[in-house]
Every structure is written in structure tokens, then in C-alpha cells.
Structure 1
């Protein structure tokens, strides 16, 4: 329909926005460029609003309880596993969504106050119903929306030029293409009621005639979609077309013919629009009903607070796990956080679960299903007990760091093989420093280093621990504040920091408060799990040292003591306590950091917190960090 001038109206946004945005120029192979992803979402929403568009986002929930799509889903997961390995080996971008992308997407939309609903099952029907009632268009790339009859039309994302906002008179608009089923039917000269039949005949989750065709007649008719449309011109009603198609299948008994016809009719019903169950939620905040009960219903409903995987655990006893860019010879990165998930299963299902929960994960390049038993120790402090962090140690830690630090502690104790100290250093740097600074400083740099498989695997494990810690925290009602995920990790930057460390290069121009906090975090966390990489001279000294000296050189493993020390070090307001805590480790701490960071300037804390809102100031302050 050419260029569409947007005016004030609602726009339904499909869940594929998430994958579409992340596949548009963002790095996928280093674990996620979350700050850049957040920035892209912000710019997209701003472009809509400046044109008077009110976006409403609807996302998928759990899997179809009927499992009619299970075979298709398994094939897609296996394909994704294979693509992830190829991406790790070749460096190609092969559309592997980073582990925390969905959470960043949800958090950013919530912060921008964009209405967001998460369905109990697939979102397509709810989006179509909502769009039909509001007479607004749907923005997506899902081919199903070429079939739904929507008065407001369908806007393919690939033809939606949101970064090219135009102006005519006093109005701004987004150039795009709008599709209508009526125009499609006129162009191909078929009856509108045959469009759902066309979709069913082309292949659906209930029946695929191509697998049943023994005479190859149907294969000739439906060799391509345009040929199928040409064949449908000769029919007025779906039933006539279905009976003619089944008649081409060769000799079969009446029962088999009836099953095929029923499958085609059921497939066609998928495109029938029913009343929306989300309209009341968006307008009045009333969640649609759900079987497990009020508490679970409210947690899982339109606010999209919990992962859709929780629904699969409740309804199907199944958990589909993330696929990470990793080498096939490495064990799955999500194995490290299985004990966290076992506590989640116990909370959801109870300890006595005869079959356990089916975890769908990879072994090598194959999809494998493993039964995992719930495990719950019954303590009141479920989250901290699971992560191994004492409650009294979190009091002095800033609220936005508590969950992340606890998850990092868990990772340091459980990861196999143990993480390299340089990986921890890089993660702590990105925790302490503004990632916007890193991105601004790195905009004109290209990091084309070959992916370090060991580093990538270790960081994948850290993200798995953080992701499942966030899920458990959500399930428990957020006893710890949920951190802004986009500020915790920026994949290409973390990998580049580690590369610079290994190359003996330095990072420059960190403000003194950042350096102090970074030193404190590093000195405390490394004491209970990670030794410095050994050098030849270190190895010689260790070999000649006395047993008592060797004992003193071993890293401390008392997590309680280490965390208490960390929180004391963080409190800048208590100079006396800070000085006392520093005295025992100042020498070690300074030695660890001096080879990495040189301090050349000082910024006030308020200026450091404000500078991320100004691109010009960010570039000025962050130039030369990397």
C-alpha cells in the first residue's frame, strides 16, 4: 500500500520484535551486547511515540499443552544447537539470542512504561484478537499475520523504517508498508474465506499433506505457494478444496480420509479470531484465568514478571534451556546452574514429583531430555541458601548489586573448570563502570579477535547462573532487588577487556571511586575461589616453599568472611572501618590492580552517574578507556 503516514493510534507489537532487534547489527557471539540492545529499544519506542503511536507488546508464554508442535520445536532446537556451534567456530552471526536478552527487553519496556502482556501460551491469537477489537495494525514478521483478517492491517517489521522518521507539516510519520488480506485476495483472485484454507493446505501443525501424498499429485499442485493459490481459484468454500486435496492422496480408507479432513479444518480454525482475553488486562489490569490458582495466575499474567518456562514446568513438567554460542566439545553451560533450577522445581511442584522435570538441553550437537528431581532444603532463606550467601552479609552491599554478587559467588564455587581470574576482573569492571562509557569509547573500534572458547564457555556459565538466580528471585517474590540487567554485561567489551589483559595492555582513566570499589570487589571475591594464573617463577617459588608457606598462599574459601570484608570495603562513609578493613589486604589489592588500571583523573560521583544521559559528555569522559 505504499508509504503509510502514522497518526495517533495503538499498535500491537508481536514478540518477534525481540529477535528482530537483536539480529539487527548487534553482536550475538560474545554473550550479549545488552546496553546497545537497550539503547535500540529506547530509540524504537521514542520513534513510535514522537509519531503519536501507542505501542502494546504481547509475548509468548508457555508451550502448547497438546504438544502438537513438539516435533517442530525439537527440530528447531536441534538446528539452533548446531548453529550455535558453527557460530563459535566460524565467528558468523547465526541468530543465537543471548541468554539475558528477553529479560533486558522486558525490563526496558517496563522502565519506558510500555504496556506489556505475556500470554499463557502462544501470542498470535491474542494479538490478532486485540488488534481486531482495537482496529489497530500488528507489527511483526510472523507469516501467520498474512492470514488473519485485520482491519488495521499487518506491518512487516522488515519494511518498517522506524529509524527514518519523516515529517509532513506539523506531523511526523514512519515510512512503512501495510498489508491487508482483502488486497491479497483481490490480487490473487481467490475468495477471502479460502485464505485460512490456503494456510492449512500449505502445511500446519496438525497435518501435512506432503507427507501423506503417495501419488505425488498433491506435490505437483502445492510445489510452491503461488501454484497453490492458482489451484484454489477454482473453489468457493474451504470444504470443497479440502476434499479435492485429500482425493489426490491415493488409495486410503475412510477413517484416514476423515482424520486428514479433520486436521485441515482444525488447522484452519487457528486463524479464526476470538474475543480478546487481554483487553481487560490492558485497560483494567485484570488478568485472564489460569488453572494453578490466584497467586500463580497473578505472577504469570500480563505483567510478564516470570519466565514462560515456569508455565512449562507447571503444566508440562518441562524446562527448555538456553542455547549459547559454545563449542560442541564443551559441556552445556547451563549445567552449572541446575541446582538453582532444582529449588525452583521444588517450589513449583513440591519435593515429591514422580517423574521429575524434563530438562531439554544439548549433549554435543544433539538434543537430550534429562529428568531432574526437585531439591529443596526447607530453609526460610531459600534464595540465599541456594546460592550459598549468608543473609547478614548483604546488608552493607548496595541493593542493586546484591543479587548479582550472590550469583557471581555461586558461579565462582560451582563453575567447571574454575574461572580464570581475568574473567572475574573483566566482569567486575563492567559491574562497576558505566557500560555506556565503554560503548561510547568503543564505537569507532572493531574487535575482530577470534572467539576464545574457554573464556566464552566461562562467561556463558556465569550468565546461566545469573539468569537462573533472577528466575528464582522472581519466583520468590523478589526478596532481593532485581538489578538492571543491561548494565551487568556487554559481551564484546568484556571479551575485549580480557584480550587486553592477556596482551599485557592497560585500561586507562578510571575515576578514583570506581577504582576503590573495583579493588574491593576483586580483593574480596577472588579470595574464596580464584588464584592468579601461575607464572614459571611462581611455580618455582611454590615448589621450594615450606608447607606452612604453601598453606598461607592458598586462596581463602570462607565465603562469609570474604563477603563481610567486601561490604566493609564498599562503605565509603565509614572511614575508620574502611581503613581497618583495608589494612589487611592493601598490599595484595594494589598489586593486583596496578598492572591493569592507571588513574589519571577524578570525577565527582554525581557527575559519573549523570554523564550517561549525555552523549557528548560520555564521549568526552570515556575517551581512551580501552
Structure 2
């Protein structure tokens, strides 16, 4: 700003005058021919710029005048206007000038010294210092330190574009959010009201924060000083992954692989696009390694075929899990390295790969050895069983089983389900819990009977 003042030889107090006179709020002010004040011999100015430079030059010639005098002199230049109208306009311009006065800011010390600006005491007085520093730096987003969660114990969930007949994608990742609520609110912090959808209706469900396992050893006010091993344990326990399982996975892919493993066990209906997801993840990683700078441009083409609704819903569930797990990882001060999100997935390519996999195996589609090696390591990490743990239960994630009861497939007799015999209701909803799942499973059986090859392929992939 000081260089700007010196360039045009104007007093800094005249900047609000310049801003008000240069604006487009008053037609009569635009009639002033400011361009005639551009100094002779000045270089050619961009179209319309002569008006601004002329105004600044005129102000520069009046540095010995007060703001009031300068404004009065400017009003005298307005043509074809009476004295009363001129006085009224000057009053309006004076009001407009107040909008352009720069208030003192606490951000100066933040950028020069790292001092965190004061936050409203009535909201943030109980929040630890490290949290406020992280919030100011953008290390923690407001979607994690949500005012509604901290004060009102309420969370409005973002709803993706998805099939209204299927359950909300946010249900799959609810246990992850419960752990996050537990870290934010502590033991006995009270239930959190989550606002989500059932069909096209917004419903609220009371969710209990979880403080168990390794999380019992952590406190919000001392999280950054806590042992990384403990913070990592909380993250892995929440996702139901053993650290050894991720040993062969590149560091920045461990979080998305752990999320994929979590999603694979809890998504409903059971997902069929695991291989497509991993293929795209590997493809993005290899492009990133080779110095790709244009993103996914050129890798995908417009998909003119309609999307498979069930596949799209599974993909939505995966994205919901990734979002919530990423936020939990940030709250835990990144015990797992952050992924390169821009290269992690590309929606259209995932759907295209899914269609291709109906006819071929991944190794038949991409024959690059580097691709195959990385793909197999990710697939093994996602699908291998933990020692002594069942595929859908046991291990650290068993502690979260109760909160996921509404996501498990009903095991009643399938013929009874088709007749609508099951009576279970989803939490916070008056809709039958089994309606969508029954339709999906009935369709699946019909598809297998009509296409035996499809049934054998699904069994070979582990989804029989």
C-alpha cells in the first residue's frame, strides 16, 4: 500500500475517497471526465484504465487538502446537477466511504509472528490452544471443529447425489464419526444429534460418542503431545485394520487402503467395485509418480452409458468413509500420512473400469508390471483376513459392532423377506429396514439364475 501511495503521490487517507469515486454506484460520478487528468506523456493505458489513473492523478495533486475538501471538490466536477442534488450525493458518497476504511486486524501478527487471532470467547473459550492454532492455520477445517457439535451437540451431514430408495451413504461411516465425537466431547459428553436423510425426508438420530480402546488414553487438550503409536492405534482400531496389514502399502496410500478395507466389510449392499476402485487408485498413483501435471485429463472419456445405481451408491459409501476417516486422521494429528487426494480416484474412470471388469480381469486390462505389482499389494492388504478374526466381526472393530447393527443384512429366511415378513426398522426411521436389501438380494438371485457365468464370476471374486 505504501508503494501505491508513493506511485501516485497521494495520502493514504484519500484511499476511501478514491474507492467511492471510482465505483459504479452513482451514474452522475461516471460523467466526470477523469481521463483528462492523466499526465501528459504517460504510456498507453489498458482500456478504461485512463479513468482510474486520471482520478488517482487528480487526487495526487490535492494532497494538501482534507478528505472533506477533496470530496467537495470532486462533487463540483459533476456536470448537469443542481446544488441540492450535489449535496445529497456528497452525503451518500461519505456513507459509502465508511465501507472502504480498513479496520485494525489481528491477522497481521498471525502472518508475521504466528500469533493466533482471538476467537469469540463465548464459543471457543474451552477449546485447547493447539486446536485454535490448527484452525487458524487451516490444518483443521471447520467441518471437524463444528460449532454445532461443540455447542449444540448436533451435526448436519452432507448428502450426496444418490438413489433415494437406498440407505444414506453416511450410515456406513457413522462409527468413524462416533470416535471423532468421543475425542471432541470426551467421556460423558452427551449424545450427538445427526441430521441425515431417509428417502427424501430429513431425520435426526441420536448418536452416542465412542470412547473406548486406545482412545481412552487420549485427551483433546493434549492430543499433539500424545504418543504417535497411541494415536495411530486409535485410527487403526476405528477402521478395523492391523498395522502389519498395511506393511507392504506405500505410506501415503495406507489411509485409503485402510478405509477401503473398512468400507468393504460394512457397505450395504455388499460392494462389487473393489477391483475397479483399486485399479483407479493404482493408475492415479503411477501417473503421479511419473510427474503427471494435467490431472486425470485424457485418462477418461465421457461415459454415455447410464450409471449402475447400486455401483454408484457403493462408490458414495466409500467416499463418505474416506471423508470421515480423513477428518479423524487430521484430528489425531496425522498418525497416517495424508494421501494425494487429487490422484486417489476419478469417478467416471471407476465406473468405466467396473464395466470392463464384467468381461476381463484387471491383469488383462492393464498389463504393465509396475501396475500389477502395486495392484496386487493393495488388493492383498484390503482382502486378507486378520489373524483370529472373522471377515465381518472380531478384532478391534468388534467393539463397534453394536453401533452398526442397522447396517447388517437381515438373516431371516429370504422367502419371508420377499413377502415383507421382516419387521425391523432403521434407527430414527419408520421405514422397513429390509425393503431395499430384499429388493437387491432378490434381483441378485434372478441375475444369477439368468446368467450362471456372472454368478460363478462373483463367487470367484469372493462375493458369492
**Aligned in 2, Cα 1:361/1:378: closer, same or farther, shift over 3 Å?**
same
The equivalent of 1:391 in structure 2 is 243
The equivalent of 1:478 in structure 2 is 334
Equivalent residues in 2 for 1:112-191, closer than 5 Å = 182-187=22-27
Work out whether residues 307 and 471 of structure 1, in 8 Å CA contact, stay in contact via their aligned partners in 2: no
Q: Distance in 2 between matches of 1:187 and 1:479?
A: 59
1:518 Cα deviation (Å)? 1.1
1:96-126: CA deviation from partner (whole Å, max 9, x where unpaired): xxxxxxxxxxxxxxxxxxxxxxxxxxxxxxx
SS in 2 for 1:370: strand
**Aligned in 2, Cα 1:369/1:274: closer, same or farther, shift over 3 Å?**
farther
1:417 Cα deviation (Å)? 1.0
Q: Distance in 2 between matches of 1:183 and 1:467?
A: 43
Q: TM-score, normalised by structure 2?
A: 0.55
Q: Distance in 1 between matches of 2:357 and 2:99?
A: 55
1:257-281: CA deviation from partner (whole Å, max 9, x where unpaired): xxxxxxxxxxxx9998643232322
1:446 Cα deviation (Å)? 2.4
Structure 2 residue 111 is matched with structure 1 residue 276:
no
1:150 Cα deviation (Å)? 10
1:289 Cα deviation (Å)? 2.7
**Aligned in 2, Cα 1:188/1:319: closer, same or farther, shift over 3 Å?**
farther
- The more displaced of 411-420 and 359-368 is 359-368
- The more displaced of 286-295 and 477-486 is 286-295
Q: 2:308 aligns with which of 430, 452, 460?
A: 452
Work out whether residues 408 and 462 of structure 1, in 8 Å CA contact, stay in contact via their aligned partners in 2: yes
The equivalent of 2:136 in structure 1 is 301
Structure 2 residue 179 is matched with structure 1 residue 339:
no
Q: Distance in 1 between matches of 2:203 and 2:236?
A: 30
Work out whether residues 309 and 320 of structure 1, in 8 Å CA contact, stay in contact via their aligned partners in 2: no
**Aligned in 2, Cα 1:514/1:277: closer, same or farther, shift over 3 Å?**
same
1:496 Cα deviation (Å)? 1.4
**Aligned in 2, Cα 1:554/1:403: closer, same or farther, shift over 3 Å?**
closer
Work out whether residues 359 and 370 of structure 1, in 8 Å CA contact, stay in contact via their aligned partners in 2: yes
Structure 2 residue 135 is matched with structure 1 residue 285:
no
**Aligned in 2, Cα 1:182/1:366: closer, same or farther, shift over 3 Å?**
farther
Q: Distance in 1 between matches of 2:255 and 2:131?
A: 23
Q: Which runs of 5+ in 1 are unaligned?
A: 1-7, 10-132, 137-148, 154-179, 191-232, 242-268, 543-549, 557-626
**Aligned in 2, Cα 1:337/1:181: closer, same or farther, shift over 3 Å?**
farther
Q: 2:322 aligns with which of 454, 466, 469?
A: 466
Q: Distance in 2 between matches of 1:483 and 1:402?
A: 8
- The more displaced of 431-440 and 295-304 is 431-440
The equivalent of 1:494 in structure 2 is 350
Structure 2 residue 433 is matched with structure 1 residue 433:
no
Q: Distance in 2 between matches of 1:184 and 1:541?
A: 70
The equivalent of 2:252 in structure 1 is 400
1:282 Cα deviation (Å)? 2.3
Work out whether residues 353 and 373 of structure 1, in 8 Å CA contact, stay in contact via their aligned partners in 2: no
Work out whether residues 318 and 359 of structure 1, in 8 Å CA contact, stay in contact via their aligned partners in 2: yes
Structure 2 residue 193 is matched with structure 1 residue 358:
yes
**Aligned in 2, Cα 1:541/1:453: closer, same or farther, shift over 3 Å?**
closer
Q: Distance in 1 between matches of 2:17 and 2:234?
A: 48
Which structure exhibits the higher relative contact order, with contacts defined as CA atoms closer than 8 Å and separated by 6 or more residues?
1
Work out whether residues 248 and 377 of structure 2, in 8 Å CA contact, stay in contact via their aligned partners in 1: no
SS in 2 for 1:434: helix
1:71-118: CA deviation from partner (whole Å, max 9, x where unpaired): xxxxxxxxxxxxxxxxxxxxxxxxxxxxxxxxxxxxxxxxxxxxxxxx
Work out whether residues 400 and 482 of structure 1, in 8 Å CA contact, stay in contact via their aligned partners in 2: yes
Structure 2 residue 376 is matched with structure 1 residue 519:
yes
Whose strand fraction is larger, Structure 1's or Structure 2's? 1
1:298 Cα deviation (Å)? 1.6
Q: Distance in 2 between matches of 1:311 and 1:270?
A: 30
RMSD: 4.1
Higher gyration radius (CA)? 2
